[in-house]
């Protein structure tokens, strides 16, 4: 199975779901993931996109309830509302970039999200940061000094540029062979694509319905390998 790139920003609420369940999903499916931190805030600013502004309280309330429901369905807790938005968003993610370079990214991200969504301690801030770094056997002073350095800042910017060039506009996102799957609810689709792209075409066609040109089904994707057969329109 092809490797799946897992693109996330610590600070994304829905990323909590993927971050928490990815290890079990990997064990059960045999999928492998490369963890890729980036700044979804930077991309959203360029898009003039504020997904959950205080002025849209009904949408904010729905987000928290939806995360709570989905977490329960997956078999883990989510104490909501969690502190949001993060005050130290960039520090949390620069630490993740450093962790990616040094090989402790997955453990760090899972631990800081757990403290954020289970203990109510804001990711990137104290005491979450020090407690999380201690859990993953890292010295806080060393990590913060490195994370505040120019080399990690440059790597953080490059990660964000890579995400944007790949067509990512939200977190969490998954990429397989250049195909972007956005949202925790598209994780299984990404795995299916990694195993066999043809199978997901059949799956999506079953979810919607087979279409024929001109029947009113708008096409965003066309499987041209099926020319001469029934085509799938999405």
38 and 107 together in one domain:
yes
pLDDT tens digits, one per residue of 57-94: 999 999 999 999 999 999 999 999 999 999 999 999 99
101 and 216 together in one domain:
no
Q: What's CA 157's distance to the chain center, in Å? A: 17
Q: Rg of the chain's alpha carbons, rounded to an integer?
A: 19
Any domain includes 233: no
pLDDT tens digits, one per residue of 14-29: 999 999 999 999 999 9
Global pTM reads 0.84
- The CA distances from residue 145 to 73, 139, 211, 218, in Å, are 39, 10, 56, 52
128 and 81 together in one domain:
yes
Any domain includes 33: yes
Cα distance between residue 28 and residue 97, in whole Å = 27
Any domain includes 29: yes
Any domain includes 100: yes
Range of the domain at 84: 4-192
Any domain includes 175: yes
Burial classification of residue 232, based on how many CB atoms lie within 10 Å of its CB (0-12 exposed, 13-18 middle, 19 or more buried): buried
Q: What is the pLDDT of residue 203?
A: 59
pLDDT at 212 over 60: no
Percent of the chain whose pLDDT exceeds 70: 85
166 and 220 together in one domain:
no
119 and 149 together in one domain:
yes
Q: What is the pLDDT of residue 230?
A: 29
136 and 204 together in one domain:
no
Q: What is the pLDDT of residue 13?
A: 97
Any domain includes 232: no
86 and 175 together in one domain:
yes
59 and 144 together in one domain:
yes
50 and 154 together in one domain:
yes
209 and 187 together in one domain:
no
19 and 73 together in one domain:
yes
């Amino acid at each position: 199975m092809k490797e799946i790139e897992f693109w996330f920003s610590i600070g994304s609420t829905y990323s909590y779901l993927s971050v928490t369940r990815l290890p079990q999903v990997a064990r059960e499916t045999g999928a492998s993931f490369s963890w890729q931190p980036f700044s979804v805030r930077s991309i959203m600013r360029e898009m003039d996109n504020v997904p959950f502004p205080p002025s849209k309280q009904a949408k904010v309330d729905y987000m928290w309830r939806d995360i709570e429901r989905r977490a329960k369905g997956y078999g883990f807790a989510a104490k909501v509302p969690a502190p949001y938005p993060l005050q130290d968003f960039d520090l949390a993610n620069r630490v993740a970039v450093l962790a990616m370079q040094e090989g402790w990214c997955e453990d760090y991200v899972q631990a800081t999200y757990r403290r954020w969504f289970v203990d109510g301690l804001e990711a990137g801030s104290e005491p979450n940061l020090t407690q999380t770094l201690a859990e993953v056997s890292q010295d806080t002073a060393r990590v913060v000094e490195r994370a505040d350095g120019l080399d990690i800042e440059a790597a953080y910017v490059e990660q964000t540029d890579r995400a944007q060039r790949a067509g990512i506009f939200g977190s969490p996102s998954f990429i397989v062979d250049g195909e972007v799957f956005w949202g925790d609810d598209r994780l299984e689709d990404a795995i299916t694509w990694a195993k066999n792209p043809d199978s997901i075409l059949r799956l999506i066609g079953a979810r919607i319905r087979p279409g024929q040109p001109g029947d009113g089904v708008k096409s965003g994707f066309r499987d041209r390998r099926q020319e001469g057969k029934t085509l799938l329109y999405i």
